[in-house]
Amino acid sequence: MPKQEAFNALMSEAAAAQEDSAMLFRQAVGDVRAIKQDKITPQSQRPRPRPYPKPLEVNFDAHLSTRPPDEIHTVGIYDSLSFLSAGLQNNVLKKLRRGYFGIDAEIDLHGLTGHDAKRQLLHFLHSSVQEGCRCVHIVHGKGYRSQDNLPVIKNELNQWLRQHKDVQAFCSATPKDGGTGAVFVLLRLSDKYGAEEDDV
């Protein structure tokens, strides 16, 4: 076979093989459609996620008045507690004792150390005011195991509540609600709930 014919035959076989390869590729890929744009948004131009607000730290001790309360007598196991803020009428305590305001929340401080009781009390009062609670029930225990029958938590609570800026009044609970081992506390309404002083 002349060299030219051999070369032409070789080129024809190569072209046929290339066409077969192209056909196999189209069969494997399927239909191809052109996209409208081929630009990719750079990472720097994409909107950044909004940061979550950092929760505010609350200084619960700031709710306690720095002014020392009036002279407070030490109370015993069976002594009742009673307090009324200046400017409120005496019948507020009568309503409070009778359960007129109901009970919106309660906490039990019985058995806690003085430090833990104060921390939980301040947190509880802050949360109660923020939630719009008007009257809360606090169990402090009667302190039967206290030295000289002088309950520690009860006496400390008697001072803390008098110093708290959101406490308007408190008194020992009814017998069915703990008697001299618990108190009903009337709280100031948070500004976001409006003032309803007609009830007191």
Three-state helix/strand/coil letters over the chain: CCHHHHHHHHHHHHHHHHHHHHHHHHHHHCCCCCCCCCCCCCHHHCCCCCCCCCCCCCCHHHHECCCCCCCCCCCCCCCCCEEECCCCCCHHHHHHHHCCCCCCEEEECCCCCHHHHHHHHHHHHHHHHHCCCCEEEEECCCCCCCHHHCCHHHHHHHHHHHHECCEEEEEECCHHHCHHHEEEEEECCCHHHCCCHHHC
Give the distance, in angstroms, between the CA of residue 3 and the centroid of all CA atoms in the same chain. 92
Buried b (16+ CB within 10 A) or exposed e, 48-83: eeeeeeeeeeeebeebbeeeeeeeeeebbeebebeb
Which pLDDT score, from 0 to 100, does residue 38 have?
58
**At which residue do the structure tokens 């001072």 appear?**
159
pTM over 0.85: no
Which pLDDT score, from 0 to 100, does residue 109 have?
96
Is the pLDDT at 106 greater than 50? The verdict is yes
Decide if 154 contacts 76 (C-beta within 8 A): no
Distance CA(103)–CA(183), nearest Å, equals 11
Q: How confident is the model at residue 175 (pLDDT cuts 50, 70, 90)?
A: very high
Is the pLDDT at 158 greater than 90? The verdict is yes
Is the pLDDT at 126 greater than 90? The verdict is yes
Q: pLDDT digits over 40-72, tens only?
A: 555 556 566 666 555 556 666 666 776 666 678
Is the pLDDT at 160 greater than 70? The verdict is yes
Q: How confident is the model at residue 19 (pLDDT cuts 50, 70, 90)?
A: low
